[in-house]
Amino acid sequence: MIWHNGLPDLAQLTALGEGSMPGFLGIEFVEVGDDWIRARMPVNERTKQPYGRLHGGASVVLAETIGSVAGAMTVDPSQFAAVGLEINANHVRPAGDGFVYATARPEARGRTTQIWSIRIEDEAGKLVCISRFTLAIIARDRGAVAASSPRDK
């Protein structure tokens, strides 16, 4: 099993997104296995583009959300943070309603970087988007956002 503290609590992971983009888009963590995790997102007025299809940016938000959470769950949170470094996405087919499901699996989990593959499928199991997400693993004291920077003065 790859998870630092055993299988993650899916309700807790979903609750982490409340009040921020994952919560606003309705992302929910729904399943977890020894080396994978799955979340879903509704295809509705919050996640569609004006032509009635799932917005590609919403797919990327889903991919980055599940990849970031997955990476964070594999390291000691008292010492390390997992932060996004690079993401790409290939939009394969449209989704118009229901839910899309993202499954994240690690491709590489190194000391300083991780690479995750995220497959986003519709309710029929058809591929909607495939994404690759790279995380930097940094010391926790480097993970905090500074209140101000020298440029602000």
Q: Spell out the residues 6+ positions from residue 84 whose beta carbon is closer than 8 angstroms to its own.
A: 64, 67, 68, 133, 134, 135, 136
Amino acid of residue 101 = Y
According to DSSP, the residues that pair with 81 across neighbouring strands are 138
Active-site residue set: 64
26 phi, psi to nearest 5 deg: 80, 25
- The phi-psi region of residue 42 (left if phi > 0; otherwise alpha if psi is between -120 and 50; otherwise beta) is beta
CA dihedral sign, ordered 135, 140, 146, 147: positive
